Structure 1
Amino acid sequence: MLASLSIRDVVLIERLDLSFGPGLSVLTGETGAGKSILLDSLGLALGQRAEAGMVRSGQAQAAVVAVFVPPAGHPAHTLLAEQGIESEDQIVLRRVLAADGRSRAFVNDEPVGVALLRRLGALLVEVQGQHDQVGLADPATHGGLLDAFGGLESRRNAVAEAYRGWRGAERALREAQEAIAAAQRDEEWLRHAVDELSDLAPVEGEEDALAAERQGLQGSERRAEAIASSLSELQPRDRRGGGAPSAALRNAARALERLTPPSEEVSAALTALASAQDALAEAENVLERLASDAAPDPRRLENVEERLFALRAAARKHAVAVADLPSHLAGLKERLANLDAGTGRVAALDAAAREAKAAYVAAAEALTSARREYAAKLEKAVARELAPLKLDRARLHIEIAPREESAWGPDGQDRVTFLVTTNPGQKPGQLAKIASGGELSRLMLALKVVLARGSPVPTLVFDEVDSGIGGATAAAVGERLARVAERLQVLVVTHSPQVAARGSRHFQVAKGLRGERAETRVVPLDTGARREEIARMLAGEKITEAARAAADELLTGTA
């Protein structure tokens, strides 16, 4: 629902703030008062084309803000969520137009492109006018409207689900076919790679274990070398035992023992030399034991390094990490298995795809059949509304035509188009091409009366839907607008008192002067002012008591 409309410096409007509510709101005023400016301003906020001439003379820019309160779950909320724009209860559309013709668009204060503004506008407002028609005039909406009229949402959802299943099955088949084709191209390499890696037999976590063992073996080797080197320093360097520290200690002791009798100092030296020999012998024993314990397996380090280097070479060859070699081998084996069993798998997927397509076709044909049934009912329902609108010769024709398979979609196999004839013997044509402006607006009204329950657009705008009619026909138009307004918000620009009397809110559009400049004003009318406005519409420039009485009768008759 359109909650409010704020206009700044658009043509003859300097500043205007309007609030709207549910039901039927009517806008009346003399010709040239500026009613079209209001619709153009709303159109600006909805993303329609902007022209520099819309900016009020002497001003740098014009601005329009339209505030909407769509129902929960409305598609507009979904669209904004897809664009990453937050929306709670309100959706605020703002358009700023500079005097040089450039414009900027905003949704909930977020800058957006005009294309998004236009998409949002189409979800929120439908305009039926003398010249510009959107909404029902767009054939893309006709299938959904017919389905809503017939209550076919469950069938349509079943078709959409079957369509997704069919396309998913086809995608799985296509992927399998592509995988097998790729595998067949690489079959020779694939078998060689599987054999090579199978012979290598990589194990998960093997690289870390080998690296740790290699580091330990290298450390053990260095330790053994150090022990052997130390031990060699303690052992004789020739066959006669020369060069060993133990021999030097013995020789030193023998030399001192020749002194007789030995002095106290010599005795102390002999004792020290004896202790040194004992310590040296103990060190030699410990080193020999360590040398025996620390001796590494001379082949183990070589084997570990060979294995580690082989794993790393294979990883480089296959452009994967060593840790991923086991899973890479499993993947290659799977590709080879898929190749070996590919024909059977593709055949199974092909059968599944054909079965899914058959399910979609069955669901789509059931939807088509139901559409044909309700299309006839919709044609009759609209026909009942046309005669009172002075369109008794017009007829709605609903064409349900099959689409090419490439154009099948989640909405079915057929294309639904609303066509119309306005005279007997005339070939049915598209709504916007066959009817005149006034006829088209009334045709749209008749359709909306019947389709209001299923309309996803919460706000309808009719621009002079009563053009060229009067009396009983205008009364019929007003009565139908009121019926549509029971379910949707309706704004109508009208010159008909019969239509104006049906409004739950009434706005008068008038043009006056402020200083030396013309200005358009819009005034909400209370009960008394509304009576005067309808009397003016009945009588013209001079309002008579008879006109006021007629206005009272119209207002009373619609209460």
Structure 2
Amino acid sequence: MLTSLEIRDLLIIDRLVLELGPGLNVLTGETGAGKSILLDSLGFVLGWRGRADIIRQGADRGEVTAVFSLATDHPAWALLAEAGIADAEAGEDLILRRVTTADGRKTAYINDRRVGGEVLRALSDLLVELHGQNDDRGLLNPRGHRQLLDEFGALDLAPLRRAWTAQRQAREALQAAEAAIARAKTEEEFLRHAVGELSKLGPQPGEEAELDAKRRLMQSAARIRDDISRAALALSDEGAEGRMRDAARWLEGVADRAEGRLDEPLAALNRAAIELSEALSGVESALQALDFNPQDLEALEERLFAIRALARKHGVAPDDLAGFAQGLSDRLEALDAGEAGLAKLATALREAEAAYAAEARAVQEKRQKAAKRLDQAMAKELAPLKMERAVFTTEIRPGEPGPEGADAVTFTVATNPGAPSGPLNRIASGGELSRFLLALKVCLTGHQSGLTLIFDEIDRGVGGATADAVGRRLKALSSSAQVLVVTHSPQVAALGAHHWRVEKRVVKGQTLSTVIALPQDERVEELARMLAGDTVTEAARAAARALLES
């Protein structure tokens, strides 16, 4: 439960400490005294969205500290452990602190460990349930009814959402394939002609440069072949090679009488002979390469020009022509195989649709069961709220399919026997709406343990015996959960186990809000004020005592 709330320099509060207890805690006071500021402050420390200008005028920073006493098995401890906050140990007090500065910077701490706002907000769902003055707007909006029913039934919608995503992806894949084939069909004639033309030519990467080099070599062959032939003759047996063999033969004949002086020259001649032989071989190869048929040059030029022409035609580099041809071929192949591919994608879509429909039916069945349980629970809750003849019904109708199913959920009521049922906003009065809201909130939070339930003027629009019934239901609820009620109803305030009055005072020309814990005699005065208004009479005091005694 929430044991204390300390506020410093927020709005019209300079310093305020509120020590709360178990059971039903009641806050009363004149309109504008600052009761809503307490709830704004609690929302601030819990990371909820709120007003930006929250710092008290003249202050540099504002701060709120909330202390919770939790059981060792409270789910908040598991959440903190998952968030890596090892400093918060189960069984200790959980201390939340949040600071805001004049320039808008906000800093949050859990047990003096700095955390982000998202951790606070996740934690707040496990600590506090706030029912404000405008909560009936959500109750009146059918768009939120399905979510409320799912929360009540603790439905796991993850498999349904996955099935919806798979169905959407299968539909998008089929649509993309159909669009691609439609585009391909518009260029089918071009594709078939281009692929045929490119396949016949069969260009290869690097071929254009190779053909160009051969062409230039052939063109220059006639000019250089004579010189190469003369060089070959100079290197042959009739030239240098023969002269070198003669020199080597003459030297070898006299080497044994030269006392070794010819060994090195002979070795050099042998090496030179080898190099000369390799040179001659290379020159002869060059001659063979230059020996071509003029028709070969014509064929080579024809292919070279064809490659260049197709490259210009398709706007690609000659070296990229082979890859371009493969791309066109792939597109044509996809077009030819398109019908078979579409059939597979259509089958996949039908299977995904069937899987989604099955998940949606399963969720619908769970919703129908949850709706029956909710209607039964609401009937039990409405009886002690003086609405035992009202009928609350959860209607489930076919709706627009989506990631959370294909059901439309609407809460309807019939406030009197025999009267037609209809939407809450058309059938229920303001006081009835408050009681429907209270009953529904009790049903929705009944399965959650360890929550502090806060009701902000949940009793508005009711009085007399009905207000007493609302108060008694809140008191009964407080037997299993801590309940904090902001109220203007004396019947509700009289049932509180702890009572505080919120009031404004002027200090040095500045209006400040404070909270005063009321002992029994002061509770009588406060209830009398709530009953009588500005002028408190003895009759009002007597009525206040009677309320407290009852």
Q: Which of these residues, 128, 131, 153, is aligned with residue 128 of structure 1?
A: 131
Report what 1:297 is aligned to: 289
* Residue 170 of structure 1: how far off its partner (Å): 1.6
Per mean C-alpha deviation after superposition, the further-off stretch among 181-190 and 502-511 is: 502-511
Partners of 1:411 and 1:221 in 2: how far apart? Answer: 77
Partner of 1:444: 437
**Aligned 1:265-344 pairs, distance under 5 A:** 291-295=283-287, 297-298=289-290, 328-344=324-340
Distance 1:13 1:421, change over 3 A: farther
Q: Is the 8 A contact 2:378 2:443 kept in 1?
A: yes
Task: Give runs of aligned pairs for residues 189-268 of structure 1, distance below 5 A.
Answer: 189-201=190-202, 206-207=205-206
Change (3 A) 1:221 1:419: same
Residue 398 (1) aligns with residue 390 (2): no
Partner of 2:28: 29
Q: What does 1:487-502 align with in structure 2 at a 5 Å threshold?
A: 491-495=484-488
Which deviations, in whole Å up to 9, do the C-alpha atoms of 1:188-242 show, x marking residues without a partner? Answer: 1111232233334455xx43x9869988999999999999879979999xxxxxx
- 2:89 aligns with none
Q: Taking structure 1 as reference, are residues 443 and 200 closer, same or farther at Cα in structure 2, changes over 3 Å only? A: same
| Residues 30, 502 of structure 2: 8 Å contact kept | no
Q: Which runs of 5+ in 2 are unaligned?
A: 69-74, 84-93, 110-117, 235-268, 530-535
**1:449-496 C-alpha deviation (Å, 9 max, x unpaired):** 21115789977542122343467514432235426x74xx85431356
* CA distance in 2: counterparts of 1:458 and 1:320, whole angstroms: 71
2:515 counterpart SS class: strand
1:142 to 135, 142, 145: 145
For 1:218 and 1:457, the matched residues in 2 are separated by 91
SS of 1:465 mapped into structure 2: coil
CA distance in 2, matches of 1:224, 1:67: 101
Q: How far 1:504 sits from its partner (Å)?
A: 8.7
**What's the offset of the Cα at 1:174?**
1.1
Name the aligned partner's letter for residue 446 of structure 1.
A
**Counterpart contact for 1:8–1:14, Cα < 8 Å:** yes
Match of 1:262 in 2: none
Is 1:449–1:480's contact at 8 Å kept on the other side of the alignment?
no
Equivalent residue letter for 1:192: H
Question: Aligned equivalents of 2:289 and 2:96: distance in 1?
Answer: 80
What TM-score, normalized by structure 2, do the two folds share?
0.62
Asked if structure 2 preserves the Cα contact closer than 8 Å seen for 1:441 and 1:462, the reply is no
The residue aligned with 2:239 is none
Residue 252 of structure 1 corresponds to none
Aligned partners of 1:5 and 1:314: how far apart in 2? 82
Q: Aligned partners of 2:415, 2:449: CA distance in 1, in Å?
A: 27
* In structure 1, distance between residues paired with 2:451 and 2:325: 60
The answer to whether the Cα contact below 8 Å between 1:29 and 1:35 also exists between their aligned partners in 2 is: yes
Which aligned pairs between 1:150-161 and structure 2 lie closer than 5 A?
A: 150-153=153-156, 156-161=157-162
CA contact (8 A) 2:6 2:15 kept: no
What is the distance in 2 between the residues matched to 1:191 and 1:355?
35
Question: Tell me, what secondary structure is at the counterpart of 1:408?
Answer: strand
Counterpart residue number, 1:187: 188
Superposed, 1:42-81 pairs within 5 Å as 46-47=48-49
Partners of 2:519 and 2:222 lie apart in 1 by 113
Alpha-carbon separation, structure 2, partners of 1:92 and 1:320: 67
Amino acid across the alignment from 2:439: A
Moved more, 169-178 or 137-146: 137-146
Q: Is the 8 A contact 2:215 2:300 kept in 1?
A: no
Change (3 A) 1:460 1:174: farther
Change (3 A) 1:412 1:230: closer
Which residue of the partner structure matches residue 114 of structure 2? Answer: none
| Distance in 1 (alpha carbons) for counterparts of 2:24 and 2:307 | 81
Match of 1:359 among 332, 355, 361: 355
User: Quick check: 2:55–2:100 contact (8 Å CA) kept in 1?
Assistant: no
Confirm or deny that 1:171 pairs with 2:164: no
1:6/1:66 contact within 8 Å kept: yes
CA 475–421 in structure 1, closer or farther in 2 if over 3 Å, else same: same
Distance 1:395 1:549, change over 3 A: closer
Q: Deviations over 1:340-374 (max 9, x none)?
A: 23223323332332343233233323432432333
SS of structure 2 residue aligned to 1:31: coil
Corresponding residue SS for 1:419: strand
3-state secondary structure, aligned to 1:335: helix
Q: Does structure 2 conserve the Cα–Cα contact (< 8 Å) formed by 1:478 and 1:498?
A: no
User: What amino acid maps onto 1:30 in structure 2?
Assistant: G
Distance change in 2, residues 1:171/1:549 (3 Å):
same
- Deviations for 1:322-353, whole angstroms, at most 9, x for unmatched residues? 77665554443332223223223323332332
Stretches of structure 1 that go unaligned for 5 or more consecutive residues are 79-88, 99-103, 110-115, 237-277, 555-559
Q: Size of the alignment, in residue pairs?
A: 466
Task: Give distance in 2, aligned partners of 1:515 and 1:197.
Answer: 94
CA contact (8 A) 1:224 1:294 kept: no
State the 1:178 CA deviation.
Answer: 0.9
The worse-fitting range, judged by mean Cα deviation, of 39-48 and 388-397 is: 39-48
Query: C-alpha displacement at 1:383, in angstroms?
Result: 1.0
Displacement of 1:386 in angstroms is 0.7
Q: How far 1:91 moved relative to its partner?
A: 10
Q: What is the Cα-based RMSD across aligned positions, in Å?
A: 5.9
Counterpart among 458, 465, 477 of residue 465 in structure 1: 458
State the distance in 1 between where 2:232 and 2:343 align: 82
Separation (CA, whole Å) in 2 of partners of 1:229 and 1:391: 120
Amino acid at match of 1:409: G
Distance 1:459 1:312 in 2: 82
Distance in 2 between residues matched to 1:137 and 1:95, nearest whole Å: 35
Contact persistence 2:494–2:547 (CA under 8 A):
no
The counterpart of 1:380, out of the listed 373, 376, 380, is: 376
Give, in whole Å, the separation in 2 of the partners of 1:392 and 1:418. 17
Instruction: Report Cα offsets for 1:135-188 as digits up to 9, x if no partner.
Output: 5444333213323433442xx444333322322222222122111111111101
Say if 1:499 and 1:309 are closer, same or farther in 2 by CA, change over 3 A: farther
Change (3 A) 1:94 1:354: farther
Distance in 1 (alpha carbons) for counterparts of 2:232 and 2:357: 97
Amino acid at match of 2:515: V
CA offset digits 1:226-266 (Å, max 9, x no partner): 99879979999xxxxxxxxxxxxxxxxxxxxxxxxxxxxxx
Match of 1:86? none
CA distance in 1: counterparts of 2:310 and 2:335, whole angstroms: 23
| Structure 1 contact 227–290 (Cα < 8 Å) conserved | no
What's the secondary structure of 1:391's corresponding residue? Answer: coil
Q: Deviations over 1:248-300 (max 9, x none)?
A: xxxxxxxxxxxxxxxxxxxxxxxxxxxxxx9xx99999976663355573479
Q: Pairwise mapping of residues 495-510 of structure 1 onto structure 2 (< 5 A)?
A: 495=488, 508-510=501-503
Residue identity in the other structure for 1:367:
V
Q: Distance in 2 between matches of 1:29 and 1:379?
A: 33
